[in-house]
Structures are given as structure tokens and as C-alpha cells.
Amino acid sequence: DMIRQLQAQMEALQGSIREKDAQLSKASSQLSAMHIRMEETRQAYEDRLQLEQVKYRDDMEAVKTDAHMQSSRARQEFAEQVSSMRSETEKSLERERARHKETQKRYYAASATIVQLKKDLAEYQAQEARKADNPAMPARAGLRKARENGVPWKEVAGMSLQQRDA
């Protein structure tokens, strides 16, 4: 009787062990499935994160490239403007130099003309003085008389020219 009781208890225990074994196997299977889902979720998250990093890196490279191109374009435009301004300034300077040269030529030509006119005037005045001093020229007697009376030569020469023109 005791043996049967022990056998019954043993069978009950074995049934309980099988039941616990089944529960443990089910829990292990659920845990394994959960672990697989978590790993898949983690992998998907890492993939998404890596994709975002690649996109971010590409965006940053695009921004850097664009900034470099704009900077390069701005430097080129600035260099062109400076070159254009330099060219205009040089042209303006050349025009100014040419104008200055032309003005100098005119000034020197006018100065030479004035010097020549002064020489011609001095020569003419000397001729007139010689004629006035020449007793063989009775028309110059008035000039001789004016000079003898102390009238300055320039006034005498001027009067003689005015008298002759009139």
C-alpha cells in the first residue's frame, strides 16, 4: 500500500516535473523569440542610425562643397573686379599722362614762341633805334627828338608803331 502511495506520489512528481519542464521549455522558447525580436529591433535601429549618419555626412560634404564653390566664385569675382579696376585706373592714368604730355608740349611751344617773339621785338626795337639815330632818315626825326627829350624807348617805339598803323 505504501509502495503504491509512493508510486503515485512519484508519478505525480514526474507529471509535475514534466509540466514544469514543458513550462520551462515554453518560457525558454518565448525568451529565445523575444531575444531574436530584440536583436532584430537593435539591428534595424543600428542600420537606421548608420543610414542617418551616412546621410548626415553626405549633407555635410554637400554643404562644404557648396561653401567652397561659393567662396571660390566670390574670390574669382573679386579678383576680376580688382583686375578691371586696375585696368581702368591704368587706362585713366595713361590718358592723364598723355594729356599732361600734350599740355607740356603746348606750354613749351608757347614758351618758345614767346621767347622768339621777345627776340624779334628786341631786334625790331634795335632796328628802329638804329633808324631813329640815322640822320639820313628825316621821317625818324620825331623819334630822335623824343629820345633826346628823355621819353623812354618803349613809349617811343609804341608811338611810332601806332603812328605808322594810323
Helices 141-148 and 2-133: angle between axes, nearest 10 degrees? 100
Burial class of residue 49, CB neighbours in 10 A (0-12, 13-18, 19+):
exposed
Answer whether residue 99 is part of any domain: yes
Chain-centre distance for alpha carbon 148: 79
Instruction: Please give the model's pTM, rounded to 2 decimal places.
Output: 0.40
Confidence of residue 128 (pLDDT cuts 50, 70, 90): confident
32 with 106, same domain: the answer is yes
Give the whole-angstrom CA distance, residue 131 versus residue 138: 10
Residue 80 confidence (pLDDT) above 90: yes
Give the whole-angstrom CA distance, residue 134 versus residue 121: 20
Chain-centre distance for alpha carbon 131: 75
Residue 156 confidence (pLDDT) above 80: no
Looking at residue 162, its pLDDT comes to: 46
Residue 134 confidence (pLDDT) above 90: no
42 with 77, same domain: the answer is yes
- R_g over Cα of the chain: 63
Tally of domains in the chain: 2
Residue 165 confidence (pLDDT) above 50: no
120 with 144, same domain: the answer is no
Residue with cell 617811343: 156
Answer whether residue 60 is part of any domain: yes
Q: Domain range for residue 145?
A: 134-166
Q: What is the mean pLDDT of the chain?
A: 87
